[in-house]
Amino acid sequence: MNNEPSDKSSSRELTDIDCVLIGVNASKTLGRCIESIRAAHYPQERIHICYADGGSTDDSLKLAERYPGVKVIALNPEYPTPGLGRNAGWKAGSSPLVHFLDSDTIVDSAWFLRAIESMQDKHLGAVIGMRRELHPERSVYNWIGDLEWNGPVGQSDCFGGDVLIRRQALEKTGGYDEALVGGEDPELSRRVIRAGWKIERIDAVMTRHDLAMTTIRQYLKRAYRSGYGFAAVQTREALLGSNFWKHDLRKIIIKGGGFIVAECLSILTLISGQSAPSLILSLLFMAVGAPLLFSPRLFKVGKFMQEYHLQRKEAVTYAWHCSAVVLPQLMGVLRFHAGALFNRPLKNRRAALKTGLSTPAS
């Protein structure tokens, strides 16, 4: 399909967009992302692509440089963060609107036109759509990601890594917090809202994504990082009197921490005495701890079936995830507070960062 609108005047009226892509060791996915932008149903002279690389050791930079018109920013931080790349990208451009994208996403061809239409509302600082997984069938982890990427349509309290945002909002807020290794997008969202703008999610596919998660180790690491992000952002928000993510953080601490404390007390009681009262007390601690952690599996299967339109077997799988994910998240919360106490925040290591592709199930 021709990328030019049929009406030449409408082409002139459309706003310029700076598309800022970030990545580290993203050679497997970066080209696909750039090509999806080039194939979008939007005048290409209105789209300006910038790739900010966080210090790749693969062919990401060379790959990006092969695309005519793509501005390449080669950052080389010792400890890269998403905020470093995104700030470098938007500050290198001048368009009134900036679209941030992770390099492992594919932009839906109709997205830019849909998003621009929504941004006619001058009260909107940012607009988001739906992110969908490319291969939810290839692993249970991809499938969970597909369920959890999106919130309800309408006014939203935050955005993620894919977002169309006004340059004015970035300039007024100063852009991303470059120290955060998790939660940087919601943290900026809160500052955009406090600056007087709204954020809206529209009912349109924005991007397709490949989580490429196939192992329990990847799953645990992602959950650990999410817990760290919850704690980092909520700590900043609490200092401003905001309850953003307070409930999420409290749930992690009560469920995960309560389970661990109760089970430790159960074990200690059991080994400290072999009497009947000791056994009863041990069982009592266990009976208190288990429902705390496994309450989604015990009580929310029906809710998940209705909310996500799942079959019972699928809802049970998701309920197990909602139960188990709390423990690695709690470790991330504890890591944040330990880092704050000893001035040793979590840092990204470039060698550990890369994007990949899901492989077909054997």
The per-residue pLDDT for range 300-316, each reduced to its tens digit, is: 999 999 999 999 999 99
Task: Give me the percent of the chain exceeding a pLDDT of 70.
Answer: 95
- Phi, psi angle pair for 74, to nearest 5°: -100, 100
Q: Are 49 and 21 in contact (CB under 8 A)?
A: yes
Give the pLDDT of residue 303. 97
Q: Sketch out the chain's domains with CATH numbers.
A: 9-214 (3.90.550.10), 246-352 (no CATH)
Q: Convert the chain into a string of H (helix), E (strand) and C (coil).
A: CCCCCCCHHHHHHCCCEEEEEEECCCCCCHHHHHHHHHCCCCCHHHEEEEEEECCCCCCHHHHHHCCCCCEEEECCCCCCCHHHHHHHHHHCCCCCEEEEEECCEEECCCHHHHHHHHCCCCCEEEEEEEEEECCHHHCHHHHHHHHHCCCCCEEECCCCCCEEEEHHHHHHHCCCCCCCCCCHHHHHHHHHHHCCCEEEEEEEEEEEECCCCCCHHHHHHHHHHHHHHHHHHHHHHHHCCCCCCHHHHHHHHHHHHHHHHHHHHHHHHHHHCCCHHHHHHHHHHHHHHHHHHHHHHHHCHHHHHHHHCCCHHHHHHHHHHHHHCHHHHHHHHHHHHHHHHHCCCCCCCHHHCCCCCCCCCC
Residues of the chain with pLDDT under 50: 1-9, 361-362
Query: Dihedral sign, CA of 190, 192, 194, 197?
Result: negative
